[in-house]
């Protein structure tokens, strides 16, 4: 049976402001030994292109280089979904954090043996996000 969107994503929420959550996320990424490659200010980028989007959205590209090497060694096509992205956005009076579950993402490559790596990365990302949401 096909997974629902809710099963493919991990989503956490916080009562804290967008700025507070983003700062906490940066700290949490470093504490979990992931690298922060880039932060995309989606709302700002759209505004520079003349497109008005009225809610803040940022996307944090993160990577654990040791885990990335393992999956790339198994199947270089996995590079098409790297690095992992964590989205932070406002929805009503809450700040939400979301990412596509690595176990779901890597399953589509049908590379034997990557399940444990995907599960490790997913557990780390979940912890990163939950820590930032507190």
The string of pLDDT tens digits covering residues 99-126 is: 999 999 998 898 878 999 999 999 999 9
- Write the DSSP assignment of 37-77 as a string of letters: EEEEEHHHHHHHTT----S-EEEEEEE-HHHHHHHHHH-GG
Q: Examine the pLDDT at 1 and tell me if it is beyond 80.
A: no
The reported pLDDT for the residue numbered 2 is: 55
- How many domains does the structure of the chain reveal? 1
Specify the pTM. Answer: 0.92
Domain that holds residue 68: 5-133
| Rounded-to-integer distance, Cα 55 and Cα 133, Å | 18
CATH number, position 52: 3.30.310.70
Q: Examine the pLDDT at 81 and tell me if it is beyond 60.
A: yes
Q: Examine the pLDDT at 4 and tell me if it is beyond 50.
A: yes
């Amino acid at each position: 049976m096909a997974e629902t969107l809710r099963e493919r994503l991990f989503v956490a929420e916080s009562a804290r402001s967008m700025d507070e959550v983003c700062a906490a996320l940066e700290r949490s990424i470093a504490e979990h030994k992931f690298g922060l490659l880039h932060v995309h200010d989606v709302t700002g980028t759209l505004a520079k292109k003349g497109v008005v989007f009225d809610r803040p959205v940022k996307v944090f590209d993160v990577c654990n280089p040791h885990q990335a090497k393992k999956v790339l060694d198994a199947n270089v096509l996995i590079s098409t979904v790297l690095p992992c992205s964590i989205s932070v956005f406002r929805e009503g009076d809450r700040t939400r954090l979301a990412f596509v579950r690595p176990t779901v993402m890597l399953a589509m490559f049908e590379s034997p043996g990557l399940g444990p790596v995907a599960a490790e990365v997913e557990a780390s990302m979940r912890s990163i996000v939950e820590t930032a949401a507190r």
